[in-house]
Structure 1
Amino acid sequence: MDLLFRRNSKKKNSEQKLLSKPNKGVKQRKKSLENPVDIKYSKCCCCGSMVPITEDLNKYKCGVCRVTNLLKEPDTKKDPVTEDLVCSAAHLKSIINGCLAKVKNEQLTDKKEKYRALEPISHYLSDCFHSYEVLERSFHPKVGSPAYSLVDYDELSTFYALLMKLPTRRPFYRMLCACNDLLKKPQGALKHIRWLLIIWEIPFIRYCLTTAQYTKFDSPEIRAVAYELAKRCVCYLSNISGTENYAQYIYCLRYMSPELFTFNIEKINLYITYQLTRIMYHSIKKDKKADKRRSVMPQMSEPEESNMADLDPLQLNHSYIPDDNVSPISEQLTDEFWNVTPEDVKTIEIDIKGKTLKQRGFKFKTAQYEHDWHIRSACKLMMMINLANTKRGGSMLDYRNYNEQIGVGVFYNTMLDFLDNKQDFEVWRGLDVGNRLSLLLTEWSAPQSQNNSVRFSFCNYPFLLSLGVKISIMEYETKRIMEYQAEKAFLSSLDKGKSVDVYFKIKVRRNMITSDSLTAIKQHQGDLLKSLRIEFIDEPGIDAGGLRKEWFILLTKSLFNPTTGLFDYVRESRLCWFSIALGHSKDTGASTQGEYYFLLGVVIALAMFNGNILDLKFPRALYRKMCKEALTFQDYAELYPSTASNLIKMLDYQGDDFETVFCLTFETSFRCNIKSSKSTKKSPKSEVITKELCQNGSQIAVTKENRGEYVKAWIDFYLNKSVDNQFRQFMDGFNRVFSNCKSISLFSSEELERLLCGDEEHTKYDFQMLRSVTRYQGGFSDNSSVINWFWEILQSWDYKLQGKVLQFITSSNRVPATGISTLPFKISRLGARDDNGLPIAHTCFNELCLWEYASKVKLEQKLKIAVTEAEGFGFK
């Protein structure tokens, strides 16, 4: 009570002083109210925050990222020291050799004298990296280098390697500090980009984001300054969109070597992982402290603040505190923590100073990262790199594929497997209302230029999300849609007073599966979003997933049958493509075949919507067209390798007799089957149809100058124009299911193919991995004799027979897109005695039922008969 009284009395005295004698600040505020000044908002060039400013300001320092922003161009004077200075590896090497020779000749042994002898190196680095003009005219690509090269990365790598070999790290540290000063006050440097790319390639920018020790130069001070460089470079590069540097940077990335391109992706992903790990650390630490307070003082409604100095991350590794609104995590965490996997998320632990922070089922909430400017900037920069990657891989003429497109898996960030993907997805769709009040308050308090309701979501950057996360999001959305449709049907049945099925039921005959399926889909197009149930007429099976798998397999086989004429089978590539001749056929049944394309689109969409895998033999071009990605020469070469090889020979031909050798016009010819009503033959007639590739193509000769246009027109005809109608009908069927499903847009063409077709094993299935996740029932265990025999038999069989076993049990010989370890697999015992019965499979549950066979030979014999002769469903 005495302490409380003293505090109140002090507050009272201070109030009396303020009332009796207003201070200078109060006078200024009164004056500003009498003469109001228009307040404007300026966007920070680094973090993007909107900062209130007045018109009389020339510059200001952002309160979030601590970067100085210039509002007016300063009057800069040329520095005579750096006016003609150029930074180069050769010059640095000569300075280093001179300094080391001085140390050797004078036989300097004192440490201070050695440092003094090496001072010219520090001065040279400081002069170079304090000026963006010096860096802009340094490390230019060599004569003869491609025009898209911005930096000579080989020389730059040599330059940094020379610094890392010095006997002292002082020059290197001075260089980092000079870069930091330049990045904090960029002035007019942001009009250029080369100097930024030079700093971005400093090795420690990558290594400061990891726990690995990197040479003798590794120190807390160097790591701290390198982190500052990392975040500034990421932010500045992410803000170049809309400037003149944007196209230049994208062009540079497009033609960058695959190794360097991948290195840039990994570096930004490390930065994102670093920021997410920091969020995870603070969240776990906060929960741990809260649990501790609750256990000690459970009666307190509002816990007191406690001293967190014992777990202060800055005391562990950094002596230099970065200018940041949230201090970065810098603990010496174990490698196991950094290499954490999704399977470890429920038992993740962090050990700091002998204290363990443990969090079960940790998930990143949107409130933890949506306002983090580090993550926002890194995601924007990664989006630019992903855009450049989509332009890699060539065009319709880049047949040599010098700039190979990087696979989508390189962009995945495994830390996002800890994401609360349902909440993030709802924010992305704009359905999240849980934080509506705080969102409104943010909008009302924000300036008009920043007042928008668009919230940050990782779904806006789907290339960062692994395929497993995307599949999880799609399953969540499709489940919600199915539940809504079922609820809607139930309420409709109550309202109309008649029965309305909550499922989409299809009844088919095995020998008429195509026509029956088409009829059912036509009659129930409003039920496509309901949960699918299949019934085979005259078969007593009840669909719990297995009949649905069987229906998809049989129907796709029927549609791809050569007798339907829907698809051309290309023998050389063993792939199928839409029938080119169908659009030019005089067959009266062409309209019915068009309905089959619609049916195929619906079937493929239903397979994805219901989580089933199909065995399709389409080229990558189909999935790229579905995702509206640009087609390349490589896509054509995958489908028609022989013709592509001939086109390459034509493009590479250097002789002067080009027109004489090739004798080509802008035309193409293909065979078309025509059924005549008068013909009694079963096999249709065949004729050759010639089509112009452009207007008046038959009159235009292919020359050495226009052969590139000829190749473009040729590829465009076979992949686009000739199949335009067929593909449009196919997409009409596909969009009939997925028109209201937003999660489908998260998938790239490569991921879409894996989602639909799974992963096909070409040699052996990894049954050892499958065995590790298999569950046993009925008395079997992993050590049972029959179980050991079963796995030994599978390992000894060839690939085709292994696929039949997998198809017998799961209705598909394909492995799920997320790996065979994610396949729920179960083996049950039918009886405790030997029996002559065959093994039984419950494909609905991926379950295999075995008898207690007396010998391995008998088990192999019965299993082989079962997997090779199985068809149909029935009750047991």
Structure 2
Amino acid sequence: MWIFLSDNISAEECLDKKTVYENYCNMWLLDFPQIHPVNLFADTEANLPTGWDTKKDRNSKAPIPPPRPTPPGSSPCNSVEIPVAYNDKVVAFLRQPNIFDILKERHPPIGTSTSLREKVNAIRVDGTSALDRLSQDLNLTILLSLFEQEIMSYVPAAVPSSATTSVRSGSPQQSSPGLSRLRASGPSHRRDFEAKLRSFYRKLESKGYGQGPGKFRLHIRRDRLLEDAFRRIMAASRKELQKGKLCVLWDGEEGLDYGGPSREFFFLLSRELFNPYYGLFEYSANDTYTVQISPMSAFVDNYQEWFRFSGRVLGLALVHQYLLDAFFTRPFYKALLRLPVALSDLESLDFEFHQSLQWIKENDVSNQGELELTFSVTEEVFGQVLERELKPGGRNVPVTEKNKKEYLERIVRWRLERGVAEQTECLVRGFYEVVDPRLVSVFDARELELVMAGTAEIDLVDWRQNTEYRGGYHDQHQVVIWFWQAIERFSNEQRLRLLQFVTGTSSIPYEGFAALRGSIGPRKFCIEKWGKPNSLPRAHTCFNRLDLPPYPTSEVLHEKLLLAVEETNTFGIE
């Protein structure tokens, strides 16, 4: 290095005058190709030669190298960037200096498994590309599952900016109806959620949920749906609910349960059970269709068992991966997860009350003598106005700036739980009789909502892009073109009815149509050429398949499709 500098007299004189350039020049010289090979052989841990001491300025301070310019579009290599994608989190976690000691504490076999250590080292060196390559490795999957909580919460001290790029981004993101609820937090949240969901279902499978060998049979009469379902599900043991392989048989119908009858069962049952008409639930607001537990449900006969039954139904739908035709409020899902409610949860339920509390939160209540707030509220019960204390002796405790936070927490909880605390507890108890609370704790309320209810929005572009064709049909076939023209003419309600006719449910998974499920796993919407021009369309709900005859005109197709969707109410395999 010094030989290189000595060739330039001006540089050497400058170096003698300003010792700060010593470190600075060293940094720049590393970029020269003719010097780089020498650096490769340097022993970075050995002591410096005699006389190569750290230089001090006249104030006895070691100079700090000035920052090098950062190329446009990049960030300094020592900037702290917290990885957000799941794959990046795994890589960052495994790149800890003492990672093998950490892994060995919980997974001793890694100390003797050379193969597993090599795989971990490959991920440490190659990053997400190696993780993607090894994604099907069973031993590695088991190892990572043991540290899932640590991986999701790990924050490295410093992460190279390049480490936050995931190789699993795939093709450009397409618009998907289920993703509309995730866009607020961006694609990274979606990837983390998908990783959580995969891990959740892997754990369910490993613990034997819904795997048998015994079957949990439900023999249901259509005209006695609620009655039959309540009797059978409430008579089942915890083991039968958790382990039994679900089999739904509709009385008097020939359909075999390869998935279609079960999907239809949860669709129809949820439509009745959570219907405000029956008194257990109510609409949350005048302008929405989300439902919540009704305070008036306490007057329904045997209401505790009905809510326990409701919880079991939710648990069974979650375990067997069936969507419900019901959308609940965000606090409802928080109650299922036993998460605390927040002031923001009130905004969509009681806007005026939320605004009042928001004002209290943002303003000093100490100087608002006319408010005279105390830890108590008034509520009307059967025409009588009663005072309820938010805590013992609350009517005599004034609200101040010091205790305002506690007041807001208590009054929000009162507003969301008033008259339904017992019912909520019964429902949650039934839910956890089917699902281990530790398994669902990985989700937040929004994520659980997406898993259980999907979305009711229809994205025609997403639907068409994720449709398969058989029997001679293809995307540009004239009958297929007429089919999509008919769908465009349909109202959203008619589209949902068609979807329910073909798949057994009108709900769409959070990922969109690409994630529709069939009898043995994911199965896309399918249109197959079948029958004669005078036949009605036929559905195979177990396989998400629509048998569509080759109709002669678009009007005939539109008429036959509407007739099949609006008049048919049986689901079977023909």
| TM-score over 0.5 (shorter chain) | yes
Aligned to 2:216: 504
Percent identity of paired positions between Structure 1 and Structure 2: 23
- 1:735 aligns to 2:449 (yes or no): no
Alpha carbons 1:658, 1:704 under 8 Å: kept: no
Determine which structure has greater relative contact order: mean sequence separation of CA pairs < 8 Å that are 6+ residues apart, divided by chain length.
2
The alpha-carbon deviation at position 556 of structure 1 amounts to 1.7
- Select 1:667's aligned residue among 363, 367, 376: 376
1:568/1:119 CA distance change after superposition, 3 Å = farther
Task: Name the counterpart of 2:445.
Answer: 749
Within 5 Å, give how 1:733-812 maps onto structure 2.
Answer: 733-739=430-436, 743-761=439-457, 764-765=458-459, 767-812=460-505
- 1:470 correspondence with 2:223: no
1:520 to 215, 229, 232: 232
CA contact (8 A) 1:573 1:641 kept: no
- Trace 1:706-721 onto structure 2 (pairs within 5 A): 706-720=403-417
Which residue number corresponds to residue 10 of structure 2? 113
Which of the numbers 856, 872, 875 marks the counterpart of 2:554? 856
User: Residues 562-711 of structure 1 correspond to what in structure 2 (within 5 A)?
Assistant: 562-571=276-285, 574=288, 575-580=290-295, 582=297, 587=299, 589=300, 592-654=302-364, 658-660=368-370, 662-672=371-381, 689-702=386-399, 706-711=403-408
Q: Is 1:829 aligned to residue 529 of structure 2?
A: yes
For 1:659 and 1:268, the matched residues in 2 are separated by: 52
CA 1:769 to 1:554, structure 2 compared with 1: closer, same or farther past 3 Å? Answer: closer
1:854 counterpart letter in structure 2: P
Spell out the pairing of 1:142-291 with structure 2 (5 A cutoff): 169=28, 214=71, 263-266=81-84, 270=88, 272-273=90-91
- Find the aligned partners of 2:570 and 2:74 in 1 and give their Cα distance: 69
Map 1:280-359 → 2, pairs under 5 A = 329=125
Give me the TM-score of the superposition, normalised by structure 1: 0.47
SS class of match (2:564): helix
How far 1:602 moved relative to its partner? 0.6
Aligned residue for 2:341, secondary structure, equals coil
Return the letter of the residue paired with 1:718: R
**Residue 438 of structure 1: aligned partner:** none
What is the SS of the residue equivalent to 2:322? coil
Give 3-state SS (helix, strand or coil) of 2:83's partner: helix
How far apart, CA to CA, are the structure 1 residues paired with 2:502 and 2:543?
Answer: 9
Partner SS state of residue 391, structure 2 = coil
In 1, distance between residues paired with 2:16 and 2:194?
A: 48
Is this contact kept in 1: 2:540–2:572, CA < 8 A? no
Distance in structure 1 (CA, Å) of the matches to 2:349 and 2:73: 53
Alpha carbons 1:275, 1:375 under 8 Å: kept: no
For 2:533, the aligned partner's letter is D
Partner Cα distance (2:256, 2:74) in 1: 68
Residues 664, 504 of structure 1: alpha-carbon distance in 2 compared, 3 angstrom cutoff: same
Q: Does 1:381 align with 2:154?
A: yes
How far, CA to CA, are the matches of 1:838 and 1:733 in structure 2?
Answer: 42
CA shift in 2, pair 1:703/1:572, >3 Å:
farther
Is the CA contact 1:581–1:672 (under 8 Å) kept in the aligned structure 2? Answer: no
Q: For residues 252 and 141 of structure 2, what CA distance do their matches in structure 1 show?
A: 57
Contact 2:91 2:123 in 1 (8 A): no
- Corresponding position of 2:542: 844
1:789-843 CA deviation, whole Å, 9 max, x = no partner? 2123324544333323222212223221333212222212222x321x3322222
The offset of 1:848, in angstroms, is 0.8
Q: Secondary structure at the match of 2:292?
A: strand
Match of 2:249 in 1: 535
Q: Is the 8 A contact 2:91 2:124 kept in 1?
A: no
Aligned residue pair count: 481
- Give the 3-state SS of the residue equivalent to 2:136 in structure 1: coil
Deviation of the 1:601 alpha carbon: 0.6
Question: Which whole-Å CA distance do the structure 2 matches of 1:623 and 1:541 have between them?
Answer: 34
Task: Give the 3-state SS of the residue equivalent to 1:871 in structure 2.
Answer: coil
The aligned residue for residue 560 of structure 1 is 274
- What is the aligned-residue RMSD (CA, Å)? 4.8
Distance 2:423 2:155 in 1: 36
Looking at structure 1, the residues matched to 235 and 540 of structure 2 have their Cα atoms a distance apart, in angstroms, of 31
What SS class does the counterpart of residue 216 from structure 2 fall into?
strand
Q: Deviations over 1:361-392 (max 9, x none)?
A: 86345359959xx999976633999xxxxxxx
Please give the per-residue CA displacement for 1:731-752, whole angstroms capped at 9, x wherever unaligned. 221111123x964444343332
- AA aligned to 1:571 is A
Change (3 A) 1:610 1:338: closer
Q: Is contact 2:218-2:249 (8 Å) kept?
A: yes
Alpha-carbon distance in 1 for matches of 2:433, 2:355: 39
Output the TM-score relative to the length of structure 2.
0.69
Contact 2:376-2:389 within 8 A present in 1 as well: yes
- Tell me the residue number matched to 1:814: 507
Q: Please say if residues 268 and 382 of structure 1, whose CA atoms lie closer than 8 Å, have aligned partners that are also in contact.
A: no
Find the aligned partners of 1:803 and 1:872 in 2 and give their Cα distance. Answer: 16
Distance 2:308 2:148 in 1: 43
2-structure distance, mates of 1:759, 1:203 = 50
Q: How many angstroms does 1:644 deviate by?
A: 0.7
**Distance in 2 of aligned mates of 1:216 and 1:814:** 42
Secondary structure at the counterpart of residue 737 of structure 1: coil
- Structure 1, unaligned stretches of length 5 or more? 1-109, 127-162, 185-198, 208-213, 231-259, 278-323, 331-336, 346-358, 386-404, 415-462, 487-501, 674-685
Q: Secondary structure at the match of 2:218?
A: strand
Q: Determine the C-alpha separation between the residues in 1 that align with 2:123 and 2:546.
A: 54
Structure 1 residue 672, shift from structure 2 partner? 4.8
- Corresponding position: 1:123 with 2:17: no
Distance (Å, rounded) in 2 between the aligned partners of 1:382 and 1:504: 44
Partner residue in 2 for 1:363:
136
